């Protein structure tokens, strides 16, 4: 049911853009105002969310330790899974952020026969997630060619590399193919795996549908309904320099693509997509396992009512004396 | 095995991992006997001055909540969101990828979808959305938001007291989201309106008053120690000392109280006493700090701090140099990750140095408390102990990593190193079930009561299943572990799932193997079992 809500929502949004641009010709609304508003919402929202997390303290030292801690010198400590110095900590976070290390170890458990659990490595989610995120990054970098003049050589390099296995024209980028496949996998996984379907909220499908719409509209523009890239670049440069112009003669598809990108970035700060920033602030991940070496201070620590030794001895003094236990007060 | 046979097998266990048709968002939980714990008794809440003491029943209709319970809970949430980054962050950034779903022992053993870590958290997250996020306020259910109702609160009680705070899910989460943190917060919120369980609150109240969970007063503590000393003498012919509240000793030794009052913990206690005698350690027990464990942790951080305070206070009063800690799981979570923050700085103590080997325990330079496995491993490495591992030849041993020493502190190799030297037959359980991926006994975090035995057995199923594997494959007949709750929880668990496997401590096995200067020839192990072997029990 949740997927239906999201599908309907996505269709409504596509229609909105189609009607707004195709029928009502609200080019400046969809081409200038909404993108600006989305960027403003993104920046404000992103900063607000990060500051909100950053402002709340980390009262306790709670890294999730996944390897041998540093103890005796002759026991080999795992500086990545149980980091004891800065280098280890950076490595741990980097491996998690860049290569999804935790998901890499993901496993599936099945009750194979009576009273027998079987564990098997499950790399699909890791692969799907990694493929999606990395191709998204490459696609974003490729898009820099619209916003930078002259186009930096690294962007051209990425672009060439990304199309390297292609001989047909127009080039179908590897990243485009991979991101489509990965998004479809992530979407179908939510639908077909009973457990994942059960936990999925409308927003989980919605994020994927937003991304899918962006990718599909972009691909359609590349392959079938070509947009005038020179005009698009003029528009992008105009937006950047706060002298917006409209890309004339650019079709509806471009506006749908743009609208969904705007939706995606405006939605970003109020959604789970904020995991992008949150991962760096996660106290189970970004603390060293050194809490017996270095004291972690709780900024709001307050005194609590304890049962003092005096109170304790007061209750048991006579009995203690009888059995010869030392007491403070005779 | 055919699909049908698998289905039949699952049916016998009553485990179905396929979620029901009904959405999880509709609250409502059936308090079925065997799956939940008795509520915290009024007198214990009173003694600890905790909110809303009363007599009530989770299965009953009326929970006798305070009239403004909703405001109390929501205010408590708001407060905790501003005071603890992990809480808000973990509520915000979950993407529901589902990697954690089949990592929870309670889900594996019960099939109840709300035992998937993601959904357990979602029970609370949905309320967070409704009252603390814009989209939840506007879109409501569509955004996964739920109103806080009594049914929701009851559901929290049921499922957050069906989580053992073992942190296994956190290992697999790409953001490290730790359901333990969420459970701790949920229990604090439940505690604000007096919804807690007796198996936590009674030990906590006992501990506050007498110094230990079991409520053992100092004179009884002394006599039980004397009894242990007698037993060591019987076994070895050596009269050891067990000094209590001895001022000016070098080391204060703190162990979980079960070690001196429960079985099979008892044999570990005998092992400690023999070890300390053999190396001539100048140490003392404390009858005031006679508990290393901390059931306060399972109620709230504040109660944890209140109970933990006495360890440093007593170290100061007795004038020791540093503290040594016994075999216990959550005790070490507190000591490793919380104690210094709670009740430090321990600047009146010195950086721990082993008086026998001269080793500086730099890893404990601030907290000044050393784990006994670290201490003993160092002794063995420096050849200070004479060991005869053949005295454990009647055991085929496997090691269960307890949740907190492994995922809370990274104490993984030390116990294995000791086992390597004190027994000849050691077999690891499958990789997916040990070290950082170890499975909980199913009874941690205060859930080791009797009335919830069904859920304990279910939660312990993945661990027991791995034990069954090494039992059948290698004839393993002893599960060694370094946690008092394990030692209490495993005997019934293994009796049910894999009969023929006993439970013991690392220092019990050390005590068996330890050759004490001047000892008589031993004919039995610490349990009084003939060293000739346990005939008929091994099926190699």
The domains of chain B are located at: 17-196, 204-513
Cis peptide leading into residue B330 (ω within 30°): no
**Whether the Cβ atoms of residue B416 and residue B496 lie closer than 8 Å to each other:** no
Question: A249 and chain B: CB distance < 8 Å anywhere?
Answer: no
Per the structure block, which two tokens stand in for B426? 């050691």
Q: Do B83 and A56 touch (CB under 8 A)?
A: yes
Residues of A with Cβ-Cβ distance to B218 under 8 angstroms: 316, 319-320, 323, 325
Q: Do A307 and B436 touch (CB under 8 A)?
A: no
**Whether the Cβ atoms of residue B464 and residue B498 lie closer than 8 Å to each other:** yes
Per the structure block, which two tokens stand in for B128? 């967070």
Q: Which residue of A has its CA nearest to B219?
A: A320
Per-residue pLDDT tens over the stretch B482-524: 999 999 999 999 999 999 999 999 999 999 999 999 999 999 9
Per the structure block, which two tokens stand in for B412? 């993984």
> Rounded to the nearest 5 degrees, what angle is found at the Cα of B328, between the Cα atoms of A115 and A282?
80
Give the position of tokens 């939706």: A263
Q: Do A125 and B99 touch (CB under 8 A)?
A: yes
What residues does A24 pair with on adjacent strands? none
Confidence of residue B13 (pLDDT cuts 50, 70, 90): low
- Cα–Cα distances in Å, from B477 out to A106, A196, A201, B406, B440? 30, 39, 47, 23, 19
Q: Is the pLDDT of residue B215 over 80?
A: yes
Residues of B with Cβ-Cβ distance to A314 under 8 angstroms: none
Backbone phi, psi, residue B387, to 5°? -125, 140
Q: Do A76 and B219 touch (CB under 8 A)?
A: no
Per-residue pLDDT tens over the stretch B45-96: 999 999 999 999 999 999 999 999 999 999 999 999 999 999 999 999 999 9
What pLDDT shows up at residue B309? 97
Quote the DSSP letter at residue B349. S
Q: Which residue of A has its CA nearest to B496?
A: A115
Mutate to test the interface with A, among B413, B438, B439, B463 (most CBs of A within 10 A): B413
| Gap from B215 CA to chain A (nearest CA, Å) | 12
Confidence of residue B535 (pLDDT cuts 50, 70, 90): very low
For chain A, domains (ranges, CATH) are: 2-323 (1.20.950.20)
Confidence of residue B4 (pLDDT cuts 50, 70, 90): low
Per-residue pLDDT tens over the stretch B283-311: 999 999 999 999 999 999 999 999 999 99
Confidence of residue B342 (pLDDT cuts 50, 70, 90): very high
Question: B496 and chain A: CB distance < 8 Å anywhere?
Answer: no
Residues of A with Cβ-Cβ distance to B141 under 8 angstroms: none
Question: A132 and chain B: CB distance < 8 Å anywhere?
Answer: no
Non-local (6+) Cβ contacts of B448 within 8 A are B199, B456, B485, B488, B489
pTM, entire model? 0.95
B4 versus B20: which is more confidently predicted? B20
Residues of B with Cβ-Cβ distance to A297 under 8 angstroms: 341
Of A56, A102, A203, the CB nearest to B85: A56
Q: Is the pLDDT of residue B8 over 90?
A: no
ipTM of predicted complex? 0.95
Contacting B residues, span 500-539, partner chain A, CB-CB under 8 Å: none
Cis peptide leading into residue B264 (ω within 30°): yes
Quote the DSSP letter at residue B285. B
Q: What is the mean pLDDT of residues B121-141?
A: 95
Contacting B residues, span 274-313, partner chain A, CB-CB under 8 Å: 287-288, 301-302, 305-306, 309-310, 313
Of B98, B344, B436, the CB nearest to A195: B98
Of A56, A78, A105, the CB nearest to B84: A56
Give the position of tokens 């920033």: A277
Q: Do A111 and B17 touch (CB under 8 A)?
A: yes
Segments of chain A scoring below 70 in pLDDT = 167
Q: What is the mean pLDDT of residues B258-272?
A: 97
Give the position of tokens 């721990």: B352
Question: A53 and chain B: CB distance < 8 Å anywhere?
Answer: yes
What pLDDT shows up at residue B539? 41
Mind giving me the DSSP string for A56-125?
Answer: S---S------SPPS-STTSPP-TTTS--SHHHHHHHHHHHHHH-HHHHT-EEEEEEETTEEEEEE--HH
**Whether the Cβ atoms of residue A258 and residue A35 lie closer than 8 Å to each other:** yes
- Choose the weakest-confidence range: A269-278, A280-289, B186-195, B529-538: B529-538
Q: What is the mean pLDDT of residues B446-454?
A: 95
What pLDDT shows up at residue B540? 39
Residues of B with Cβ-Cβ distance to A117 under 8 angstroms: 108, 461-462, 465-466
What pLDDT shows up at residue A194? 93
Residues of B with Cβ-Cβ distance to A100 under 8 angstroms: 174
| Gap from B140 CA to chain A (nearest CA, Å) | 12
Question: B174 and chain A: CB distance < 8 Å anywhere?
Answer: yes
Q: Which residue of A has its CA nearest to B216?
A: A316
What pLDDT shows up at residue B537? 46
Helix axes A2-17, A252-267, angle to 10 degrees: 130
């Amino acid at each position: 049911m949740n997927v239906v809500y999201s599908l309907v929502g996505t269709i409504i949004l596509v229609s909105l853009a189609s009607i707004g641009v195709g029928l009502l010709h609200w080019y400046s609304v969809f081409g200038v105002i909404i993108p600006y508003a989305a960027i403003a919402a993104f920046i404000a929202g992103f900063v607000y969310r990060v500051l909100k997390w950053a402002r709340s303290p980390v009262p306790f030292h709670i890294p999730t330790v996944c390897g041998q801690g540093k103890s005796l010198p002759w026991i080999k400590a795992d500086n990545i899974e149980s980091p004891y110095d800065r280098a280890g900590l950076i490595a741990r976070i980097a491996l998690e952020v860049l290569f999804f290390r935790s998901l890499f170890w993901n496993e599936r458990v099945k009750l194979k026969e009576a009273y027998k659990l079987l564990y098997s490595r499950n790399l699909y989610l890791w692969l799907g997630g990694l493929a999606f995120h990395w191709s998204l990054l490459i696609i974003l970098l490729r898009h820099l060619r619209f916003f930078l003049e002259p186009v930096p050589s690294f962007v051209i390099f990425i672009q060439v590399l990304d199309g390297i296995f292609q001989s047909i024209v127009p080039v179908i980028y590897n990243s485009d193919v991979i991101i489509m496949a990965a998004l479809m996998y992530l979407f179908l996984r939510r639908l077909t795996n009973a457990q994942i379907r059960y936990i999925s909220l409308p927003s989980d499908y919605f994020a994927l549908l937003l991304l899918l719409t962006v990718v599909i509209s972009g691909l359609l523009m590349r392959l079938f309904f070509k947009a005038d890239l020179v005009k698009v670049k003029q528009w992008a440069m105009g937006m950047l320099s706060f002298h917006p112009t409209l890309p004339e003669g650019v079709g509806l598809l471009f506006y749908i693509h743009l609208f969904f990108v705007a939706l995606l970035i405006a939605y970003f700060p109020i959604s789970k997509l904020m995991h992008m920033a949150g991962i760096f602030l996660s106290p189970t991940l970004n603390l060293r396992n050194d809490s017996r070496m270095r004291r972690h201070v709780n900024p709001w620590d307050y005194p609590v009512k304890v049962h003092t030794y005096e109170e304790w001895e007061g209750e048991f003094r006579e009995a203690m004396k009888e059995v010869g236990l030392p007491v403070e007060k005779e | 095995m055919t699909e049908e046979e698998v289905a039949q097998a699952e049916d016998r266990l009553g485990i179905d991992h396929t979620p029901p048709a009904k959405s999880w968002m509709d609250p409502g939980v059936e308090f079925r006997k065997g799956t939940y714990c008795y509520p915290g008794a009024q007198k214990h809440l009173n003694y600890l001055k905790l909110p809303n003491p009363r007599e009530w029943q989770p299965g009953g209709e009326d929970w006798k909540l305070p009239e403004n319970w909703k405001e109390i809970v929501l205010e408590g949430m708001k407060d905790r969101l501003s005071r603890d980054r992990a809480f808000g962050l973990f509520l915000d950034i979950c993407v529901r990828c589902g990697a954690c779903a089949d990592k929870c022992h309670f889900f594996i053993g019960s099939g109840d979808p709300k035992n998937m870590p993601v959904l357990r958290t979602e029970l609370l997250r949905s309320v967070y959305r409704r009252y603390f996020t814009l989209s939840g306020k506007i879109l409501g259910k569509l955004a996964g938001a739920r109103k806080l109702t009594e049914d929701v609160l009851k559901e929290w009680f049921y499922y957050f007291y069906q989580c053992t705070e073992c942190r296994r899910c956190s290992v697999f989460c790409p953001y490290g989201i730790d359901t333990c943190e969420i459970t701790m917060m949920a229990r604090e919120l439940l505690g604000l309106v007096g919804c807690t369980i007796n198996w936590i609150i009674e030990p906590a109240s006992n501990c506050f008053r007498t110094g230990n969970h079991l409520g053992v007063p100092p004179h009884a503590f002394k006599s039980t120690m004397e009894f242990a000393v007698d037993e060591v003498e019987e076994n070895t012919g050596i009269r050891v000392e067990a000094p209590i509240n001895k001022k000016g000793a070098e080391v204060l030794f703190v162990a979980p109280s079960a070690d001196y009052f429960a079985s099979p913990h008892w044999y570990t206690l005998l092992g400690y006493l023999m070890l300390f005698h053999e190396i001539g350690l100048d140490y003392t027990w404390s009858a005031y700090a006679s508990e290393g464990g901390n059931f306060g942790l399972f109620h709230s951080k504040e109660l944890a701090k209140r109970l933990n305070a006495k360890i440093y206070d007593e170290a100061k009063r007795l004038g020791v140099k540093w503290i040594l800690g016994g075999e216990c799981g959550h005790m070490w979570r507190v000591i490793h990750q919380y104690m210094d923050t709670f009740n430090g700085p321990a600047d009146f103590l010195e950086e721990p140095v082993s008086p026998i080997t001269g080793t500086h325990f730099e890893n404990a330079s601030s907290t000044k408390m050393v784990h006994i496995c670290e201490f003993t491993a160092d002794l063995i490495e420096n050849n200070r102990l004479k060991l005869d591992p053949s005295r454990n030849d009647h055991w085929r041993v496997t090691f269960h990593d307890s949740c907190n020493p492994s995922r809370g502190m990274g104490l993984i190799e030390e116990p294995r190193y000791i086992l390597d030297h004190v027994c000849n037959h050691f077999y690891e359980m499958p990789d997916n079930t040990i070290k950082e991926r170890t499975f909980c006994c199913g009874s941690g975090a205060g859930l080791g009561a009797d009335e919830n035995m069904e859920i304990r057995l279910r939660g312990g199923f993945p661990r027991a299943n791995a034990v069954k594997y090494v039992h059948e494959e290698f004839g393993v007949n002893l599960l060694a572990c370094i946690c008092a709750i394990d030692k209490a929880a495993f005997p019934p668990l293994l009796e049910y799932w894999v009969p023929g496997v006993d439970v013991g401590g690392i220092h019990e096995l050390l005590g068996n193997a330890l050759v004490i200067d001047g000892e008589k020839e031993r004919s039995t192990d610490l349990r009084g079992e003939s060293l000739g072997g346990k005939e008929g029990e091994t099926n190699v």
